[in-house]
A and B are shown apart, each in its own frame.
Chain A
Amino acid sequence: SQQGEEDPQALSIQEGENATMNCSYKTSINNLQWYRQNSGRGLVHLILIRSNEREKHSGRLRVTLDTSKKSSSLLITASRAADTASYFCATDFAGGGGATNKLIFGTGTLLAVQP
């Protein structure tokens, strides 16, 4: 399976703490993206990091990418109860002719932020 893996599977923290989620993947990628999903609803795109980038910030989000280790991490700082959701990484993996445009999703991390 091409699916990436995320850890931890579940994470429970207190409001104000930082949350870190990790994603590992198997093939060469064009870019890696993080999504949030609230309770089985639609997906919200959070951030995209390209294969030639190592770190990216967006508000309280910080994403790192290590292509040599085929891994990425998502850090949410100063978490809020509203951040409670499932978080997925998704890789746009590179085919022989470049980006395949397929998004292959990781297994997901369920984050619970306690007020």
Chain B
Amino acid sequence: SAVISQKPSRDICQRGTSLTIQCQVDSQVTMMFWYRQQPGQSLTLIATANQGSEATYESGFVIDKFPISRPNLTFSTLTVSNMSPEDSSIYLCRTREGFHPQHFGDGTRLSIL
């Protein structure tokens, strides 16, 4: 089964800056997904990232704020741009390999001062 490495595991950032989160998978996967989990909340899907095409964003999320790259079948990045305290969350990547199981990275805990 796929192993996902996500980094950084946590960061503290200044308001107005940007941070890029990386997700590396040890095998090729077609689909990768990015989620946000705000404090005390459930997970919300940000976007779906397929290699060779632009990411597909869910309602409420836009490319200018959360640009995503998917240069190959084992890697993806999510950038959180022009950060504000409301962006303080855990960000998680997920892959789908076949029908089951689902794999999540351990998450990036982001705090904005």
A59 CB–B CB distance under 8 Å: no
B102 CB–A CB distance under 8 Å: yes
- The tally of residues in A whose CB lies under 8 Å from a CB in B reads 18
B55 proximity list for chain A (CB < 8 A) = none
Stretch at the interface among B15-23, B37-45, B76-84: B37-45
Pair count A-B, CB < 8 A:
44
Residue contact A105 to B44, C-beta cutoff 8 Å: yes
Interface positions, chain B 72-104, Cβ under 8 Å from A, are 90, 92, 94, 96, 100-102, 104
Given A101-B31, A103-B33, are A41 and B43 neighbors across the interface (CB < 8 Å)? no
A64 CB–B CB distance under 8 Å: no
Given A102-B33, A103-B94, are A88 and B43 neighbors across the interface (CB < 8 Å)? yes
Residue contact A42 to B48, C-beta cutoff 8 Å: no
Residue contact A102 to B45, C-beta cutoff 8 Å: yes
| Shortest Cβ distance from residue B110 to the other chain A in the assembled complex, whole angstroms | 12
Q: Please, which residue of chain B has its CB at the minimum distance from the CB of A1?
A: B59
B90 proximity list for chain A (CB < 8 A) = 40
Residue contact B102 to A33, C-beta cutoff 8 Å: yes
User: What 0/1 readout, one digit per residue, does chain A (33-50) give for beta carbons within 8 Å of chain B?
Assistant: 100000011110100100
Residues of chain A at the chain B interface (Cβ within 8 Å): 3, 33, 40-43, 45, 48, 88, 90, 101-108
Residues of chain B at the chain A interface (Cβ within 8 Å): 31, 33, 35, 37, 41-45, 48, 90, 92, 94, 96, 100-102, 104-107, 109
5 smallest beta-carbon distances between A and B, as pairs: A42-B106, A105-B43, A43-B104, A105-B42, A108-B42
